[in-house]
Amino acid sequence: MTRKAAATNPFPDSRLVFDPAALGLKEYPREFFQSDTVRVARQIIGAWFARRHQGRWYGARIVETEAYLGCTDPAAHSWRGRRTPRVEPMYLEGGHLYVFFVYGMHHCANVVTRQAGIPEAVLLRAAEGPHGAPGRLMSGPGRLCAALGITAAMSGQDLLSGGDLRLFRGGGRPQIGVSERVGVGYAGEAAGWLLRFFDKNSSAVSGPRI
DNA sequence: CACATGATCGCCT
DNA sequence: GGCGATCATGTGG
């Protein structure tokens, strides 16, 4: 017997339409993404991940991230310098997008950090919409990608080349919570590293708020 | 070629 | 809290 397919958040979703120009949102300079990965993971809490589609911008205010520290991080796809077609975008210079497919049904979006050849990245785990928080729409990396229609075909795109995928700086100074990363129990000691960051005041954060 | 598994989610108990 | 869906990817023969 077949089971009901997992519910998907259709893209485009009109609740996510917004106007970065009207809001005066600015983009980050390249150097920002080339700096320390943990710093980027913290700093982009409150930033806007945006996608342009048929003339409209769809936006997600990032409220939860995780840092993946490349060759020396057992939880990272690039651990020990692994270099395969899937992971290749992680080796691009900071500011590119790395998207992968997991569990046969979900996509996860990452912002690549550091210089070209240093495969580190920040996983986007949760976001809230521009017109308030539409419940659990983007609470979790899979739902976040579903809501914005992010697929592996977009992996390797540059967020700083004036294209349809961008990251804008957010306003304010969110209160940042810190914890272990989610779902990396297989990574041994690295499972305990405090590399997950979230907006303490957001109801869209996906996992434990400890 | 064959097989094991995962940076998740939703439904079940 | 547990489990199954479902398949691209990586690894090994």
Q: Which nucleotide is nearest to A77 (CA to C1')?
A: B7
Backbone φ and ψ for A100, nearest 5 degrees, come out as -130, 165
Q: Residues A80, A71: contact at Cβ < 8 Å?
A: yes
Residues A86-99, mean pLDDT to the nearest whole number: 98
Q: Residues A109, A160: contact at Cβ < 8 Å?
A: no
Q: Is the pLDDT of residue A56 over 90?
A: yes
- In terms of pLDDT, which residue wins out, A207 or A196? A196
What pLDDT is attached to residue A196?
97
Q: What's the gap between Cα A126 and its chain centre?
A: 7
A173 touches strand B (CB under 7 A): no
Measured to protein CB atoms, the chain C nucleotides within 7 Å are: 5-11
- In terms of pLDDT, which residue wins out, A96 or A187? A96
A47 touches strand C (CB under 7 A): no
The separation, in Å, between residue A108 CA and nucleotide C8 C1' comes to 13
A121 touches strand B (CB under 7 A): yes
- In terms of pLDDT, which residue wins out, A5 or A8? A8
Longest dimension (CA), chain A: 53
Helix (H, G, I), strand (E, B) or coil at A52: strand
DSSP secondary structure string for all residues of A115-167: STT--EEEEEEEEE-TTS--TTTTBSHHHHHHHHT--GGGTT-BTTSSSSEEE
Q: Is the pLDDT of residue A71 over 60?
A: yes
What pLDDT is attached to residue A188?
85
Closest to A145 (Cα-Cα) out of A45, A24, A63, A51: A51
- In terms of pLDDT, which residue wins out, A6 or A99? A99
Q: Share the mean pLDDT of chain A.
A: 94
The separation, in Å, between residue A95 CA and nucleotide B13 C1' comes to 44
Q: Is the pLDDT of residue A3 over 50?
A: no
Q: Is the pLDDT of residue A208 over 70?
A: no
Q: Which nucleotide is nearest to A109 (CA to C1')?
A: B7
A143 touches strand B (CB under 7 A): yes
A71 touches strand C (CB under 7 A): no
